[in-house]
Structure 1
Amino acid sequence: MRAMLDLVARHKSGAPCGIVSVCSAHPLVVEAALRHAMAAKAPIALIEATCNQVNQDGGYTGMQPADFRDFVFAIADRVGLERQRVLLGGDHLGPNPWTHLSAIDAMDKAEIMVDAYVRAGFRKVHADCSMSCADDPVPLPEQTIAERAARLIAVSEKAWREAGGDAPVYVIGTEVPVPGGASEDLPELEVTSPEAALLTIRTHERIFRQRVLAAAWPRVIAEVVQPGVEFDHHKVIDYDRTKAKALSCAIETLPTILYEAHSTDYQTPQALRELVEDHFAILKVGPGVTFALREALWALDAIEREWIADNRSNFRDVVLERMQAEPRNWSKYYHASGRALTFDLQYSLSDRIRYYWPDTQIMAAQQKLFDNLTGNPPPLSLISQYLPDAYAAIRSKGLTVTPAQLVMAHIGVVLDGYYAATQPQVEMLDA
């Protein structure tokens, strides 16, 4: 997409600009992200889906790529954001959902997925084949990773030529946990070495040219590396630009490629700004915004308990009951029991709770919560007690105080830091 190529060119010319990549399939998160893009007058709003969220088998959202496209565009239409300003991205597209299969079978499935993404209109493709399949060595050699990535990009190029529209842009490499986040407590992180980062790029470029993908190489806009940011269940490893200085300088030798930083969730606004200045210009956020979503929903549950006497939704209780009844999305990650497990289910920074929002019983309880607080609005003092930042933002914009607006405003507080970092010259305006 032209806008992404222009972004790279502006950054390479010295402008400390970047882009926010919001990776979520929750309607309130997506709406908050699109409204923020409008408020910031951003050229594009980048919304991404991972291979685990959305694939030809439905992912954990139940959506195929075309379904996700329609879902995002419907929200864009409702808020008044032109569809041409929405860029859809596919994150970690590769064999990850099928690593229990042989490499042959898993890569066949990955090809079908990439084809479906591109034909559905996704134009930012992160080809990630770093994970080992059932019959692979651990870890995979760099050569194998690059060969598989090139194979998927060849599929993408064919699908684009047949479907038409803007040419895709590509992201290569991975120096982060597999989609879904780290499964254990993390030690201090090792920043990607400049030598490793450049070797990944050179290997991919060589294989692209061998695979007759030379025309696609100028559209490789970013490499995923580890700048030294991550989070686990209860702590955040903050960005230290002194440790990433050599890595930052290494990309300055390449005129058309930036870094993409994953796991930037929970970084401070200053750290986000420094990441962009240091050429980690694509900032991905996922659990950070869904954690804010959960915070806001828990606050509304507390308001309901204070304000509604009868026929409450008991929203938080319903969510915890459903998580306990269906542990498959957290059992590999949380190993505590009793009160400690209940705490992790709610408050872990890895935010496994985000996998449960599409549950039909949870959705029904959320709707009842919203209906209760809409039909019997709580006093402003109670809203200020539990959601002070969201309440202040809504009042300052003259918006109607509704449950949905409160949730989106709370998410917006997180997004403010990202837009301040990626568009430092733009003063935020009301959407």
Structure 2
Amino acid sequence: MNVMLQDLAPSRAAGHPVGISSICSAHPVVLRAALRHGARTRATVLIEATCNQVNHLGGYTGMTPADFAEMVYRIAAEENCPEDLILLGGDHLGPNPWRDQDAEAAMAEAEKMVAAYVEAGFRKIHLDASMGCRGEPVALDDHQTADRAARLAAVAERTASGAAGPMPLYVIGTEVPPPGGADHALEAITPTAPDAAKTTLAVHREIFAARGLDAALSRVIAIVVQPGVEFGNHNVIAYDPAPARPLIDVLPALDGLVFEAHSTDYQGTAPLAQLVQDGFAILKVGPELTFALREALYALDLIASDLLPDYGARPLKVALEALMLEKPANWARHYGGNAAEQGVLRHYSLSDRIRYYWAEPQAQAAVAALLEALQGQVVPLPLMWQHLPAATAFADRPLDPEALLLWRVEEVIHSYHTACAV
């Protein structure tokens, strides 16, 4: 199912809705699993990086867009995934990483970032200039947002016109859940109001046209909306089509666009398929992928602790706990409660803020020690049942722990793949 972004709206209009999942992660194991799945299924692999994660100054991963693209294509070559199946996207591209500066300085950095993304071959560009900068309201109105988005689109257009490859495709709209999920238990999420979606599109069209960006406007493929899905530290709000029906009903009036849905993690195949059926054709997933990876790593940590007398008592979890306590910035303001409750959340929250720590040397060393300890070991079936019962196919034969990790992440990716082929 090699679905291209340009196919989404026409397919829906023709009565054959299809979707595409967007892999929002920089973890090499997640990327390898996505590219391996693409190589096997010949499905499009859409991989997106965010403005905080990857930018011209390095982001929190330390990677520029060119660095990120090089990593993706290197892994793709190793997995025999054809490059023509790969789409690179930039998510929330705008002034967010520099919003503590005044607006002009923040936008100047955002322009450099957008140029770096396009130069590196990213062609799905989510323009997000909705956040206020120093001295401004937290959220800007539609006109300010669209004006700044048009400024960034102009940079993308100029950059792409002087580079190889197709011109960019754009996603507009900013009504999204908090990155990485909410910090509290949730009861319900209100879908985007139909009039809000129509206004967002109308204002962007007006301002893009006024700036001479009609060509860019013709390549806007989707608008970000809230379908009523979310996850918090403890729970998931599953998709309910009924409250979203007024929003769904307005889609035909949006002239050849589809909806993009963020924070679709943990929904499961059936709700994801219903989202695609209802017009939410681009499904963003991130924390669920690294949650699944962490789940498998911790299961292997327990297996090694039980199986190998010299391995120790869960040294991987011990190392990550020490690391997160030493460097609490990525979780402290998100995890409330007493010390015991915070301890559980550090490792098992659905927002999976442990994902920020896997690139740290201490974490990499602990993972390497775990994989080395279990490589070639035979895990008895009852022990596998105890700690990762879904992985029985890996029991009672020499274990390749990396293959098990990739399998676990691919299980999530395949759920999205199945849902998108409705």
State the TM-score, normalizing by the size of structure 1: 0.93
- Answering whether residue 404 of structure 2 is matched by residue 403 of structure 1, we say no
1:187 positional shift: 4.7
1:28 positional shift: 0.9
- The residue type paired with residue 30 of structure 1 is L
1:377 positional shift: 4.0
| Counterpart secondary structure, 2:243 | coil
Contact 2:261–2:280 (Cα < 8 Å) also in 1: yes
Q: Using the alignment, how far apart are the partners of 1:226 and 1:390 within structure 2?
A: 35
Q: Indicate the residue corresponding to 1:34 in structure 2.
A: 35
- The residue type paired with residue 204 of structure 1 is H
- Answering whether residue 67 of structure 2 is matched by residue 64 of structure 1, we say no
CA 1:98 to 1:271, structure 2 compared with 1: closer, same or farther past 3 Å?
same
Farther off after superposition, 17-26 or 305-314: 305-314
Q: Using the alignment, how far apart are the partners of 2:218 and 2:410 within structure 1?
A: 34
Q: Indicate the residue corresponding to 1:378 in structure 2.
A: 379
- The residue type paired with residue 11 of structure 2 is R
Contact 2:23–2:286 (Cα < 8 Å) also in 1: yes
Write out per-residue CA displacement over residues 148-185 of structure 1, whole angstroms, 9 at most, x where no aligned residue.
11111111111111112111111001111343433444
- The residue type paired with residue 316 of structure 2 is F
- The residue type paired with residue 116 of structure 1 is A
- The residue type paired with residue 405 of structure 2 is V
| Counterpart secondary structure, 2:280 | coil
1:89 positional shift: 0.6
Q: Indicate the residue corresponding to 1:324 in structure 2.
A: 325
- Answering whether residue 206 of structure 2 is matched by residue 232 of structure 1, we say no
- The residue type paired with residue 69 of structure 2 is R
1:8 positional shift: 2.9
Q: Using the alignment, how far apart are the partners of 1:239 and 1:206 within structure 2?
A: 32
State the TM-score, normalizing by the size of structure 2: 0.95
Contact 2:305–2:311 (Cα < 8 Å) also in 1: no
Q: Using the alignment, how far apart are the partners of 2:7 and 2:112 within structure 1?
A: 30
Q: Using the alignment, how far apart are the partners of 2:40 and 2:363 within structure 1?
A: 31
Question: What are the equivalent positions in structure 2 for 1:34-53 lying under 5 Å apart?
Answer: 34-42=35-43, 44-53=44-53
Contact 1:389–1:410 (Cα < 8 Å) also in 2: no
- The residue type paired with residue 72 of structure 1 is V
Q: Using the alignment, how far apart are the partners of 1:309 and 1:244 within structure 2?
A: 54
Contact 2:374–2:399 (Cα < 8 Å) also in 1: no
Q: Using the alignment, how far apart are the partners of 2:111 and 2:246 within structure 1?
A: 36
1:268 positional shift: 2.3
Q: Indicate the residue corresponding to 2:416 in structure 1.
A: 418
1:400 positional shift: 7.6
Q: Indicate the residue corresponding to 1:349 in structure 2.
A: 350
Q: Indicate the residue corresponding to 2:118 in structure 1.
A: 118
Write out per-residue CA displacement over residues 256-285 of structure 1, whole angstroms, 9 at most, x where no aligned residue.
210000000011211101000000000000
CA 1:215 to 1:300, structure 2 compared with 1: closer, same or farther past 3 Å?
same
Q: Using the alignment, how far apart are the partners of 1:348 and 1:279 within structure 2?
A: 30
1:4 positional shift: 1.5
Contact 2:66–2:116 (Cα < 8 Å) also in 1: yes
Contact 1:12–1:255 (Cα < 8 Å) also in 2: no
Contact 1:390–1:413 (Cα < 8 Å) also in 2: no
Q: Indicate the residue corresponding to 2:280 in structure 1.
A: 280
Contact 1:50–1:179 (Cα < 8 Å) also in 2: no
- Answering whether residue 127 of structure 2 is matched by residue 127 of structure 1, we say yes
Q: Indicate the residue corresponding to 1:427 in structure 2.
A: none
Contact 2:379–2:399 (Cα < 8 Å) also in 1: no
Farther off after superposition, 133-142 or 344-353: 133-142
- Answering whether residue 24 of structure 2 is matched by residue 23 of structure 1, we say yes
Q: Using the alignment, how far apart are the partners of 1:103 and 1:336 within structure 2?
A: 36
Cα RMSD of the aligned pairs, angstroms, is 1.9
Show structure 2 runs of 5+ residues with no match.
Answer: none
Q: Using the alignment, how far apart are the partners of 2:354 and 2:174 within structure 1?
A: 25
Contact 1:387–1:410 (Cα < 8 Å) also in 2: no
Contact 2:9–2:257 (Cα < 8 Å) also in 1: yes
Q: Indicate the residue corresponding to 1:210 in structure 2.
A: 210
1:2 positional shift: 9.5
Q: Using the alignment, how far apart are the partners of 2:16 and 2:249 within structure 1?
A: 16
1:335 positional shift: 2.3
- The residue type paired with residue 220 of structure 2 is V
- The residue type paired with residue 217 of structure 1 is L
Q: Indicate the residue corresponding to 2:388 in structure 1.
A: 387
Q: Using the alignment, how far apart are the partners of 2:95 and 2:187 within structure 1?
A: 27
